[in-house]
Homo-oligomer: A and B are copies of this chain.
Amino acid sequence: MTTMNNLGDLHLFYTPDIQPQHKAFILSEEESKHAVRVLRLSVGQQLQLADGNGGYYRAVITDAHPKRTVLEILEVSLAHGKRPYHLHMAIAPTKSIDRVEWFLEKATEVGVDEITPIICDHSERKEVKLERLRKVVAAAMKQSLSAYLPKVNPAIRFDDFIGHDFSARRFIAHCAEGEKEYLGNTLQPEEPAVVLIGPEGDFSVAEIQRATQAGYTGVTLGNTRLRSETAALVACAEVAILNRG
């Protein structure tokens, strides 16, 4: 187990099946094709692997097979770049799915651990293509050289979500009248958090009431009117800023 530095120039592959004790590893057919056919990597060239759960590996190609590229593992780092907090964002998917995908990409860069699409009273979109969203997150993880893959949960109804007993501080960001705090002023560093972000037409008054009764604190993310996906990203940035060293 060593600390790895200066890996920024090596290509990163997402390999959820690798284990810390592995001395060698064979890339999947898709990743092999990408390594050998697209990136044109060859024997002796190095690359990086992330298992999505904090494991980060440096490896060298020993057989540049286009369907089953063989790697020798050179270095392993566990809990690589681990954040000192846990942030679960529950966001009503936007009418245009591009905006949710954009949020997933940016949140993965800035820092998020878990994302749940929630279906609300004012939701125009009632479903999401989970596999598509997970691909966006995996691509963003690789792009940002992170070892952690944010977990994207299936869509769930608002009431089912707030009925869940999370071991975390719970917040609902909304634009309605009433007493609200700033997320970064009430959340403590390292404290796990769940943050609800509503759809284009905001949460309904009834939803805000039910969330409050379920232990959610009303928060505002600023004085301007933010789109759903902007509000969600500002929340991620605010928690990241609160938690940095």
A residues contacting B by CB (< 8 A) are: 8, 81, 102, 106, 109-111, 143-146, 182, 184, 222-227, 230, 233-234, 237-238, 240-241, 244-245
Ranked nearest first, the 5 interchain pairs of A and B with the lowest CB-CB distance are: A237-B237, A144-B225, A109-B230, A145-B225, A234-B237
Residue numbers in B under 8 Å from A110 (CB-CB): 222, 224, 226, 230, 234
User: How close is A41's CB to chain B, nearest CB, in angstroms?
Assistant: 20
Copies in the assembly, this chain: 2
**Taking A110-B230, A237-B238 as contacts, is the C-beta distance between A244 and B225 under 8 angstroms?**
no
A222 touches B238 (CB 8 A): no
Interface centre among A143, A223, A224 (most CB of B within 10 A): A224
Query: CB distance B241 to A184 under 8 Å?
Result: yes
Instruction: Tell me whether B223 and A81 are in contact (CB under 8 A).
Output: yes
Taking the closest CB of chain B, its distance from the CB of A242, in whole angstroms, is: 9
Cross-chain pairs A/B with CB under 8 angstroms, 30 sampled: A81-B223, A81-B224, A102-B102, A106-B230, A106-B233, A109-B224, A109-B225, A109-B226, A109-B227, A110-B226, A111-B222, A111-B224, A143-B227, A144-B227, A145-B224, A146-B225, A182-B241, A182-B244, A184-B241, A222-B240, A222-B241, A223-B244, A233-B233, A233-B237, A234-B237, A234-B240, A237-B238, A237-B241, A238-B241, A241-B241
